Structure 1
Amino acid sequence: MLKNNDKNIKGQHLLNDLSIKQVIEVFDLMPDTKFWIKDLEGNFVHVNKYFLEHSGIRSLSNIIGYNDNHIAAAHIAEQFIVDDKKVIQGHVVNDRLEMNSIKNGKLSWFTTSKRALRNQSGEVVGTYGITRHLNKTSEVLSGLNAVQSPVEYIKNNYMNDICINELAGVAHLSVSALERRFKKYLAKTPKQFLNEIRLENARRLLVESNRSISDIANATGFSDHSYFSKQFKKMFDQLPSQFRESQITAQTSERKIP
């Protein structure tokens, strides 16, 4: 029988014999989980099979060297790019709950984690991460169902003046119970969630329309233009005008993957 020290040595030899390629290919075995590696410029170095399937891309060679602007809607790609820059600077993303579109165009729940990728010298050389599609995770779904009605109400009425008592009534809960559920299952307050939904829709309109910034602010529930700009910069690290200008530049320089 091998002693513990002998087992450790044997295990270390096995790890030394494994190639990085073999390790990352493990992610091809994970259904409903997207895995990717990017370089410092945000270009894809590797993605797993589910990532390709979810993105509608036929082969790995078709995505290597491209970035999020080539495969996602502009307002969504921008958030991925902002996230990557934060991760490179030392920020860590842990199981962040978010809504995104699936292949049929419908919205679904995902959870995302990201890390900086370092070489043997400890230098940051890129980023990597996973995004899990949660529709088949019963425990998470039960939690999401607990806030489903107020979440749907916010999604459909974000442009209106919504108060916390109104949301509590929709959920048939007290205000305190509603806030506890949002904090437990979404890690944010109802007000924070409403604000994020409004800002996400504002970001989409900045890309998809030529409406003025003040008009977009009003259309997404912000009656105060300066407050809208302040909240937008806080969430996306850019003022609305800067974001729109950056998207115009990106759209003229980038092309989608064929």
Structure 2
Amino acid sequence: MNDKLALENQDFLQNVLGLKQILTMFDLLPDIIFWIKNANSEIIYANNKFVEHIGLHSLQQVYGKSDVAFFPPHIAKQFINDDKSVMNGQVITDRIELNMLKTGDFAWFSTSKRPLYDHNQHIVGSYGFTQLMNKTSQVLSSIDAIKAPVEFVRENYHKDICVEQLAQTAFLSVSALERRFKKYLSKTPKQFINEIRLENARRLLIETRLPIVEVAYRCGFSEHSYFSRQFKALFGTLPSQLRDTLHKDS
């Protein structure tokens, strides 16, 4: 009986409602940005909020384009690398991240991504949701709880930063600060410092021709070998390999 009901429900979704009608339902979610991409990270569908988010006027302006067409190079590369990871089977759930608005300002988002399967269970693309985290008091309190130390890191990542300094900016003990970072960002303060440094290093590698050693130094890394290891651990490629790829694509 349950199997029969399940088949009837599946038939209703596929043959009565139709995929197009189901997808348009995502336009009713006012704060959700939704997209579907093919295996080349090109948009094949997005809701109206996505179109609005990137500052365009119609879905036709989005079809067949990748994030490179809409975002600064270092952010587009981040999204495309995410797509590749997801298409390798990785799942991203409620990841809190700083991304750029169409105004050029940065804001907090909560993002989830999944692989997209065909009828034969082969991965053929990816889809995802992201939400600007400024709507609820719970979200606002979450950001406020770590706002001071996060801003301190963003402004001073190129300098020596110790966890004690961050704790002082939030008027917390080190242990209390670490608990907050684990709760709201799922990472330690040291991991956050490292990731902010590496993200800025990736931006410089993409947008400038500065020597890699100089990039490392400007982003707070005193040892080139350590910088390279950390960069590969986070992004899956060495700084030199990223540079080589960029030169080939240019």
Q: Same fold (TM over 0.5)?
A: yes
Unpaired segments ≥5 residues, structure 2: none
Provide the residue aligned with 2:190 in structure 1.
191
Point out which structure has higher relative CO (alpha carbons under 8 A, 6+ apart).
1
| Distance in 1 of aligned mates of 2:199 and 2:127 | 24
Q: TM-score, normalised by structure 1?
A: 0.91
Identity of counterpart residues, as a percentage?
Answer: 50
Query: Aligned AA for 1:207?
Result: I
3-state SS, counterpart of residue 221 of structure 2: coil
Higher mean C-alpha displacement, 118-127 vs 189-198: 118-127
Q: 1:57 to 1:209 in 2, by over 3 A?
A: same
Query: Aligned AA for 1:145?
Result: D
Q: 1:9 to 1:160 in 2, by over 3 A?
A: closer
**Superposition pairs for residues 1-258 of structure 1, below 5 Å?**
11=9, 14-16=12-14, 17-250=16-249, 252=250
Moved over 2 A (4+): 3-16, 244-250
Q: 1:19 to 1:136 in 2, by over 3 A?
A: same
Q: 1:237 to 1:185 in 2, by over 3 A?
A: same
| Distance in 2 of aligned mates of 1:226 and 1:122 | 41
3-state SS, counterpart of residue 135 of structure 1: coil
Deviation at 1:56? 1.5
| Distance in 2 of aligned mates of 1:208 and 1:221 | 18
3-state SS, counterpart of residue 120 of structure 1: coil
Deviation at 1:244? 2.3
- Superimposed CA distance per residue, residues 11-57 of structure 1 (whole angstroms, 9 cap, x where no aligned partner): 55542411111111111112222111011111111111111111122
Residues 74, 247 of structure 1: 8 Å contact kept: no
3-state SS, counterpart of residue 173 of structure 1: coil
Residues 42, 81 of structure 1: 8 Å contact kept: yes
Deviation at 1:10? 6.9
Residues 82, 237 of structure 1: 8 Å contact kept: no
Give aligned pairs, total. 249
Q: 1:58 to 1:246 in 2, by over 3 A?
A: farther
Deviation at 1:157? 0.6
| Distance in 2 of aligned mates of 1:167 and 1:4 | 55
Q: 1:139 to 1:157 in 2, by over 3 A?
A: same
